[in-house]
Structure 1
Amino acid sequence: MKTAWVFPGQGSQVLGMGMDLRAIDLAQKTFDRAGEILGWSVIDICQNDEVKLANTRYTQPCLYVIESILVDLLKQRGLMPSVVAGHSLGEYVALSAAGVFDFETGLQLVKHRAELMALASDGGMTALIGFDRSQLADAIAATEGVVIANDNSTAQVVISGTVAGIATVVSQIKVKRAIPLNVSGAFHSPLMATAATEFGKLLAPVTFHDACVPVLSNVAPIATTDGHKLKAHLTSQITGAVRWREISLQLPELGIERAIEVGPGKVLGGLIKRTCEGIVVVQVSTRSDLESLDS
Structure 2
Amino acid sequence: MTKTAWVFPGQGSQTLNMGVDLQDLPGAKQKFEAAAKILGWSILDICQQDEATLSRTLYTQPCLYVIESILADILSEKIGLPQLLAGHSLGEYVALYTAGVFDFESGLKIVKKRAELMDSAAGGKMMALMKFGRSELEQALKASENVVLANDNSEGQVVISGTPEAVDKVSSQVKAKRALELDVSGAFHSPLMQNASQQFESVLDTVTFSNAKIPVLSNVEPVATTDKTKLKQRLVQQMTGSVRWREIMLQLAQSNIERVFEVGPGKVLTGLIKRTCKNIELNNVGTAEQLQQVTAA
TM category (shorter chain) comes to: over 0.9
SS of residue matched to 1:120:
coil
Q: Which residue of structure 1 lines up, in the alignment, with residue 287 of structure 2?
A: 286
Q: Which residue of structure 2 lines up, in the alignment, with residue 136 of structure 1?
A: 137
Per-residue displacement from partner, 1:198-217 (whole Å, max 9, x unpaired)?
10111123221110000000
Say yes or no: does 1:237 pair with 2:238: yes
SS of residue matched to 1:127:
strand
Match for 1:102: what amino acid? D
SS of residue matched to 1:37:
helix
SS of residue matched to 2:81:
coil
2:26, 2:74 within 8 Å by CA — same for their partners in 1?
A: no
Q: CA deviation at 1:132?
A: 1.0
Q: CA deviation at 1:252?
A: 1.3
Q: Which residue of structure 2 lines up, in the alignment, with residue 40 of structure 1?
A: 41
SS of residue matched to 1:149:
strand
Q: Which residue of structure 2 lines up, in the alignment, with residue 20 of structure 1?
A: 21
Q: How does 1:26-175 map to 2 (within 5 A)?
A: 26-175=27-176
Q: CA deviation at 1:122?
A: 1.6
Per-residue displacement from partner, 1:198-252 (whole Å, max 9, x unpaired)?
1011112322111000000000000111111101111100000000000000001
SS of residue matched to 2:27:
helix
Q: Which moved further from structure 2: 50-59 or 120-129?
A: 50-59
Q: Distance in 1 between matches of 2:30 and 2:288?
A: 16
Q: How does 1:3-18 map to 2 (within 5 A)?
A: 3-18=4-19
Q: How does 1:247-266 map to 2 (within 5 A)?
A: 247-266=248-267
Runs (4 or more) in structure 1 with deviation over 3 Å come to none
Q: Distance in 2 between matches of 1:249 and 1:25?
A: 35
2:258, 2:280 within 8 Å by CA — same for their partners in 1?
A: yes
Q: Distance in 1 between matches of 2:147 and 2:239?
A: 15
Q: CA deviation at 1:51?
A: 2.5
Q: Distance in 1 between matches of 2:174 and 2:220?
A: 26
Q: Where do 5+ consecutive residues of structure 1 fail to align?
A: none
Match for 2:239: what amino acid? I
Per-residue displacement from partner, 1:77-127 (whole Å, max 9, x unpaired)?
132111000000000000000000111110000000000000001211000
Q: Which residue of structure 1 lines up, in the alignment, with residue 208 of structure 2?
A: 207
Q: Distance in 2 between matches of 1:36 and 1:282?
A: 33
Q: How many residues align?
A: 295
Task: Give TM-score, length-normalised by structure 2.
Answer: 0.98
Q: CA deviation at 1:277?
A: 1.6
Q: CA deviation at 1:62?
A: 0.3
Q: How does 1:213-224 map to 2 (within 5 A)?
A: 213-224=214-225
Q: CA deviation at 1:170?
A: 1.2
Task: Give TM-score, length-normalised by structure 1.
Answer: 0.98
Q: CA deviation at 1:76?
A: 1.8
- CA RMSD after TM alignment: 0.8
Q: Distance in 2 between matches of 1:48 and 1:171?
A: 37
Q: Distance in 2 between matches of 1:203 and 1:249?
A: 29
What fraction of aligned residue pairs are identical, expressed as a percent? Answer: 60
Q: Distance in 2 between matches of 1:220 and 1:135?
A: 24
SS of residue matched to 1:236:
helix
Q: CA deviation at 1:49?
A: 3.4
Q: Where do 5+ consecutive residues of structure 2 fail to align?
A: none
Q: CA deviation at 1:50?
A: 2.6
Q: Which moved further from structure 2: 71-80 or 57-66?
A: 71-80
Q: Distance in 1 between matches of 2:130 and 2:205?
A: 37
Q: Distance in 2 between matches of 1:283 and 1:173?
A: 34
Q: Distance in 2 between matches of 1:174 and 1:10?
A: 26
Say yes or no: does 1:191 pair with 2:192: yes
